[in-house]
Amino acid sequence: MKPVKIGILGLGTVGGGVVNVLQRNASEIARRAGRGIQVTHASVRNLSKKRLCSTAGIVLSERPMDVVNNSDLEIVVELIGGTTRARELVLKAIANGKHVVTANKALIALHGNEIFEEAQKQGVIVAFEAAVAGGIPIIKAIREGLSGNRINWLAGIINGTTNFILTEMREKGREFNDVLKEAQALGYAEADPTFDVEGIDAAHKLTILTAIAFGVPLNFDAAYTEGITKIDREDVQYAEQFGYRIKHLGFARCSSKGVEIRVHPTLIPQSRLIANVNGVMNAVVVNGDAVGSTLFYGAGAGSEPTASSVVSDLVDVVRSLTVDPENRVPHLAFQPDAIHQKSKFLAIEEIETGFYLRMKANDQTGVLAKIATILSEAGISIDAVSQKPPMVENAKQNTIAILTHRVQEQQMNLAIKRIENLPEIIGKLTRIRVENLI
Ligand code: NDP
Ligand code: HSE
């Protein structure tokens, strides 16, 4: 059988990796797909840039639309990133009847509903395994491997850059900006790295996981997002003392109250496997009613780990070329007419978590009692307290750290306001949410 001809838009970190993997593993891939997969065309921004891969035998162009409009190509792989040009190109490829593979989580999270509708009309596949957690086949696992379950919740370290930064800061005491620069040099970070450190990239990925886990529409606007820039070394130390570790976690749950989607620094018990996922590695825990908790682990970013997912999508598409569109695995795991379009998404104030609170207080008798009274009046139960003596002898301030049991965020907000108004409390409280993941 003739090989399937494909075109790649973008030959950067991921595009270069895809060409390398397709070339190196060509015969193994053909054995799996039933046909060879041949990159015949690709587009880049700058033709004279040095590439990670050989471009021998590939027609290179600076005009991605030429690739999308090339009638010899059956599959277009979008690895440009961004949401404007990428959206135009993907929609045009679909309109031209081509299957699409993309690693672009921003595109899927923001425009996926539209893209999948168009793909459905045209009877083509849009595959996006690489969009979430790099090399971990988490989309396939949820969409197919766990399809017998009602999924209760999922939690993931789904941004390699931030996990790399937090790990290097904790283990080696390195500075934030220094580690971020290294993550950029290694090809982990997004074109705009604020997407990584402010949690936007993780929220894009979590939006996708939420849709395929619960059968709800992609709704990036419903995601609560908080980055890692305000994490203090002191909090890392207190967390350790309480038996926890701070991770930048994406968490989604579907309950009778509604759907929650949130990305924020989170204290997780050190004993959980996911608390020990370090560096650029990612991990996702999925809790289903039948299977219980399952953990998926692997490299979350980088050239070839991401290429691994793109190429497995290519193999899947090639295997499905002869399958009738209505018999294919649905894009978002649930049949399009069975997606709960009217699902309620919860605001962060409506969500329940445990809390870690850290505050500075004047070293006076009765402060702790006043704080405990405020928490108790708000119905908030204390789990653990640590009061550090003043660092300097005769100093007048000390630090209090408290862990609470679960409480609704709006109740905690009121209590925090009251504590901050105590005359003995200095400045603002630090608050980090706690999840025990059981
Ligand atoms: P790069 O910046 O390394 O590569 C982007 C490629 O697209 C380059 O070849 C660039 O051309 C080309 N390009 C960029 N803008 C345009 C444009 N406007 N028109 C035409 N071509 C353009 O990005 P990555 O490979 O890192 O990321 C690609 C996608 O994969 C993104 O959506 C990203 O979020 C996603 N992703 C990345 C991962 C990673 O670890 N890096 C992991 C998982 C997903 P030129 O080379 O000439 O500049
Ligand atoms: N910037 C992303 C990360 C790339 O660091 O996780 C992988 O999606």
Mean pLDDT calculated for residue range 233-239: 91
Give the pLDDT mean for 189-204.
97
Is residue 389 scored above 80 in pLDDT? no
* Model pLDDT, residue 233: 85
Over the stretch 65-78, which tens digit does the pLDDT of each residue have?
Answer: 999 999 999 999 99
Domains of the chain: 4-135+303-338 (3.40.50.720), 138-299 (3.30.360.10), 351-434 (3.30.70.260)
Residue percentage of the chain with pLDDT more than 70 = 98
pLDDT at 193 over 80: yes
Q: Which of 138, 166, 179, 190 to mutate to test the pocket of ligand 2 (most atoms within 8 A of CB)?
A: 190
Given pLDDT bands bounded at 50, 70 and 90, which one contains residue 48?
Answer: very high
Given a cut of 60, whether residue 392 has pLDDT beyond it is no
Mean predicted confidence (pLDDT) in 223-247: 94
When the pLDDT of each residue in the chain is averaged and rounded to a whole number, the result is: 96
Report pLDDT for 336.
Answer: 96
What pLDDT does 263 receive? 98
pLDDT at site 203: 98
Mean pLDDT, range 395-413, rounded to an integer: 94
pLDDT at site 173: 87
The model's confidence at residue 396, banded by pLDDT at 50, 70 and 90, is confident
Q: Is 252 in the pocket of ligand 1 (CB under 6 A)?
A: no
Question: Please, which pLDDT band fits residue 390 given cuts at 50, 70 and 90?
Answer: low
The CB of 191 under 6 Å from ligand 1? The reply is yes
Sheet holding 126-127, edge to edge: 59-61, 37-43, 4-9, 75-78, 99-102, 126-127
Q: What is the pLDDT of residue 363?
A: 85
Distance 103 CA to ligand 2 centre (A): 10
Q: Whose CA is nearest to atom 2 of ligand 1?
A: 12
> Which sign does the torsion angle of CA 420, 426, 427, 433 carry?
negative
Mean pLDDT within 143-149:
98
- pLDDT on residue 364: 87
254 lines ligand 2 (CB under 6 A): no
Q: What is the mean pLDDT of residues 100-117?
A: 98
Instruction: Average the pLDDT over 90-116 and give the result.
Output: 98
Predicted pLDDT at 387: 87
Report the share of the chain in percent with pLDDT over 90. 95
Mutation probe of ligand 2 site: the residue of 196, 263, 284 with most atoms within 8 A of C-beta: 196
309 lines ligand 1 (CB under 6 A): no
pLDDT one-digit tens code per residue, 282-318 = 999 999 999 999 999 999 999 999 999 999 999 999 9
Q: What residues are labeled active site?
A: 205
Residue 395 confidence (pLDDT): 67
Q: How far apart are CA 437 and CA 277, in angstroms?
A: 15
Q: Give residue 84 CA to ligand 1 midpoint distance, Å.
A: 13
pLDDT tens, residue by residue, 209-220? 999 999 999 999
Residue 79, ligand 1, Cβ within 6 A: yes
Mean pLDDT of 3-21: 98
Q: Could you identify the atom of ligand 1 that is nearest to the CA of residue 45? A: 47
Tens digits of per-residue pLDDT, 309-367? Answer: 999 999 999 999 999 999 999 999 999 999 999 999 999 999 999 999 999 999 888 99
Residue 388's pLDDT band (boundaries 50, 70, 90)? confident
